[in-house]
Chain A
């Protein structure tokens, strides 16, 4: 293994090394086990770093990673590639909390636990100045086991957007119980099941200081700010267990294909319809949820927005990134990459996902169907049980040279995908 775990804060050493021996980034001989389109290659930047959720790459090429759980005493990592060969050779850890969200904006690193959001001042090399004393900017967010992760993204007007996932599958009286009907109105939506907006620079904000920016979103993990449209895009995890809860209306095959995982372009006040409706990718309609009197055909959600794009059910989109780099061929520019963590709720049918997908975009609108971009993370031809997947894509980030980084929160592998075709 090329990766060594060294915890040191001596930045001067890495800089002098970087200047002394500028390395060349080349793909691993086996493309890190991934199947990619022609001309693309991949390398493993690091392995075994812990449950690597979201990540972001600085203009110097350092990688900040948010760990789902504290590993070796730390919840945030900074990976450094001193000699420029693409392989991380130094790791600095800080922060004693697990979480999901991490982002850099205007000289600060933002990172979230499942209840709070912190920010760390960065120096001109994008190094954290005071790793043990971050500013707490948001606190007291609801975390009740289900959909507890708080993804974050920042706009260009001084706001930070935080997903607060619903602590429920479909807002039933008894969560996930067979035949249990939906609560009306769904009380979860008061404090969760949406995107909340806060000031990016104000300390100790909580619900009263923020604004419910968008609602009716069951759970969002992957989200990104589209710079062309200056607009928030999110990927919703659709509801589970239509067959378990309403077996007379949905057989196991219908359960495996319903509902779609959905991409939404949000505006202030948008409502995506959860829990009252779900999106059926075959009928291309918002269908009234059976918990609210639906039968699989009745439409609903007149006030709810339609998705920008629908994806197969249960694939669990955990990362979204609009590609603005110059390394990849022209058709990838401004398009969306989506990291699908992989399904569990398609059983007894085989599980699906465990790949990075791509959707071509022009002027903020999809110009074609979605396609699989990077596959092979699971290490299996067919995944029959979720735990059998070797690696599970979660976060996406773009490097200063236009490389695409993918994190794996199962084995802690950090992938870097490069284009070397002509």
Chain B
């Protein structure tokens, strides 16, 4: 178990040295994913399901969703802060249930849970930083 963990951390450490100029160091990203999973289980799992698959017609999927892995993270951060109650097409499908705002989460928690969903199941995308969440929150207020 411990060996496995070591192997999974090693590549990130190597990448950290190679791409030191990146704003979010990969070791932090791994930690963020782990913390984000805890928040996901508490806040997101019921509707978006354990596999990020959502519920057809009711709750939007996160796994493989364009908006979740998009380079522009603003939309995603906004949804967590403001909730979602509009009838909008998401990757060719409509979803019925409202999503409540999760603005009570700290910037770090939102960064962690979004980093988690952007790097779980089949998703692979860059981390979301505290600064990015802070910037969007300031715009909304």
Contacts and interface: CB of A to CB of B under 8 A. Distances in A.
Do A and B interact with each other, yes or no? yes
Interface of A: 68, 145-148, 169, 174-178, 180, 241, 243-244, 255, 344-345, 347-348, 384-388, 410
B100 to A, nearest CB: 4
Interface string B13-57: 000000000000000000000000000010101110111011111
B79 interface: no
B108 interface: no
Contacts of A68: 57
Contact of B56 (A145, A244, A387): A387
Contacts of B83: 174, 177
- In order of increasing CB-CB distance, the 5 nearest A-B pairs are A177-B100, A387-B53, A344-B55, A385-B49, A175-B98
B99 interface: yes
A385 B59 CA distance: 12
Contacts of B87: 145
Given A384-B51, A387-B49, A176 B99 contact: yes
Contacts of B49: 344, 347, 384-387
A28 B100 CA distance: 46
Contacts of B11: none
Contacts of A176: 97-100
A148 B50 CA distance: 26
Contacts of B95: 145
Contacts of A180: 100
Contacts of B50: 347-348, 384-385
Given A175-B85, A387-B49, A344 B58 contact: yes
By DSSP majority rule, is chain A's interface helix, strand, loop, or mixed? loop
Interface of B: 41, 43, 45-47, 49-51, 53-59, 61, 83, 85, 87, 94-101, 104
B51 A385 contact: yes
Given A344-B59, A386-B53, A174 B101 contact: yes
Nearest to B100: A177
Contacts of B57: 68
Given A344-B58, A385-B53, A387-B61, A145 B98 contact: yes
Given A244-B43, A387-B61, 18 more contacts: A68-B57, A145-B85, A145-B96, A147-B96, A148-B96, A169-B97, A169-B98, A176-B100, A180-B100, A241-B46, A243-B46, A347-B50, A348-B41, A348-B45, A348-B50, A385-B51, A386-B55, A387-B55
14 contacts: A145-B95, A145-B98, A177-B100, A178-B104, A241-B46, A244-B43, A344-B58, A347-B49, A384-B51, A385-B50, A385-B51, A387-B49, A387-B55, A387-B61
Nearest to B95: A145
Contacts of B43: 244
B91 to A, nearest CB: 13
Given A387-B54, A388-B53, A175 B45 contact: no
A68 B58 CA distance: 13
A165 to B, nearest CB: 10
A178 B45 CA distance: 14
Contacts of A344: 47, 49, 55, 58-59
A53 to B, nearest CB: 11
Nearest to B52: A385
A255 B42 CA distance: 13
A345 B41 CA distance: 13
Contacts of B55: 344, 386-387
A317 to B, nearest CB: 15
Nearest to A148: B96
A176 B98 CA distance: 7
Nearest to A178: B100
Contacts of A244: 43, 46
A169 B46 CA distance: 14
B101 A177 contact: yes
Contacts of B53: 385-388
A305 to B, nearest CB: 27
B97 A146 contact: yes
Contacts of A169: 97-98
A406 B12 CA distance: 52
Nearest to A389: B56
Contacts of A384: 49-51
A384 B101 CA distance: 26
Nearest to A176: B100
Contacts of A345: 46
**Interface-centre pick from A147, A148, A176, A255 (highest chain B CB count, 10 A):** A176
By CB atoms of chain A within 10 A, which of B53, B94, B95, B98 has the most? B98
B100 A174 contact: yes
Contacts of B101: 174, 177
Contacts of B51: 384-385, 387-388
A263 to B, nearest CB: 22
Contacts of A243: 46
Interface centre among A148, A348, A387 (most CB of B within 10 A): A387
A390 to B, nearest CB: 12
